[in-house]
Amino acid sequence: MKNPFRKSSVQTLETTIASLEKRGAHLAAMRVAAQTALEKAIIARQDGFLAGDLHDQAALDKLKDAADAAASSLSSIDDAIAALSQHKTTAEHQLTVERERIKRAAAADKLVKQIAGVEAALPCYLSQSRNLAGALSEISHFHFESSQIASFIQDAMSKIEIAANFALSDLKAMSHAIREGHQTMPGETTPAVAAVEQRMAETQTVFMLRSTHYRDNDGRKRFAGQWEDATMPEATAQRALDRAIAVPLTDPRRAQLRGMRGGDFDPKAADVIDLDAVAAPTSAATRDLAIDNANFTVIDRSAEARTIQIEVSRT
């Protein structure tokens, strides 16, 4: 059981800093008094040399000892103030780190609860969606709109289920990264907006002819389904284009095939290509993309009847 009277680490550090500040103020007052005493001792010693009995060695030694003692006292106080200032700086840094740790732990715990909520809600959503799609399918043979709704639900279910597997895995890794201080907390202003814009500019959207895995600019693993658009790092997209794994968005096949799979993907299938493992093509293997993308069709005209005229001399 947690002791309600026990101070937290933040409270302990705050108490330590307050105590150091109070002692620092007291030392500052002592320094003012010591500085005044030193100045008086120096003046008295000078007066002794200027107006006193120079043959009275005992009196001169007394003035010297008083000035030395005042100087030593001031020096000791300065050393104490410097040490105390260092201790205070260290305590303030520890307090900042501890507050940041607590904030990160709270943000990570909140995200963990939110992820658990998504994991709990997802099966219910999929189950209810299947029930609704099944009910609509029973009347789809005579009602076109019901058939369309059922198809839409089934397509959305498939895509959501695949996306959720990736998203939940990513979110769980994110909660750990937040706790460890490797990622900004939700709601925090991300640094270097220009860098983000630059990363966005270094991506390219292509139409996938094959299903693939690839890593985005942040190093996270992504899945791109066959006959779907995918936005990926420019270099990765170029490898996909060079290897005919993808085509530009202007390719006519996109208009014909886009979405034909209906979200029916298995990211773990054996035929899914890892684009990050695909080597850049050599100059000998590089194909002419202009010809590839022209989509020429070979027409067999061997069976067509042909009539030709030739000129011969009469006999």
222/197: higher pLDDT: 222
Residue 39 has a pLDDT of 94
Mean of per-residue pLDDT scores for the chain: 85
Residue 283 has a pLDDT of 45
pLDDT tens-digit map of 253-264:
988 888 888 878
Q: Tell me the pLDDT band of 309, cut-offs 50, 70 and 90.
A: low
Q: Cα separation of 213 and 267, whole Å?
A: 8
User: Which helix (H) or strand (E) segment is 280 a member of?
Assistant: none
pLDDT tens-digit map of 72-124:
999 999 999 999 999 999 999 999 999 999 999 999 999 999 999 999 999 99
Residue 136 has pLDDT above 50, yes or no: yes
Residue 174 has a pLDDT of 92
Residue 270 has pLDDT above 70, yes or no: yes
SS3 221: strand
Give the pairing of strands 203-208 and 246-247: antiparallel
Q: Which among 130, 152, 155 is positioned nearest to 144, based on CA atoms?
A: 152
SS3 1: coil
Q: Which among 200, 279, 266, 271 is positioned nearest to 240, based on CA atoms?
A: 279
SS3 164: helix
Q: Name residue 221's beta-bridge partners.
A: 215
pLDDT tens-digit map of 12-69:
999 999 999 999 999 999 999 999 999 999 999 999 999 888 889 999 999 999 999 9
**In the chain, pLDDT over 90 holds for what percent of residues?**
63
CA 84, distance to chain mean position in Å, is: 39
Question: CA-based angle 88:90:95, to the nearest 5?
Answer: 90
Q: Which residue has the tokens 């399918």?
A: 137
Residue 212 has a pLDDT of 95
Give me 51's structure tokens. Answer: 């107006």
Q: Cα separation of 122 and 116, whole Å?
A: 10
225 within 8 A of 158, measured Cβ to Cβ: no
Residue 263 has a pLDDT of 79
DSSP-derived secondary structure letter, 141? T
Q: Cα separation of 253 and 259, whole Å?
A: 11
210 within 8 A of 271, measured Cβ to Cβ: yes
Q: Tell me the pLDDT band of 287, cut-offs 50, 70 and 90.
A: very low
Residue 193 has a pLDDT of 52
DSSP-derived secondary structure letter, 251? -
Give me 211's structure tokens. Answer: 């299903």
SS3 297: coil
Q: Tell me the pLDDT band of 7, cut-offs 50, 70 and 90.
A: confident
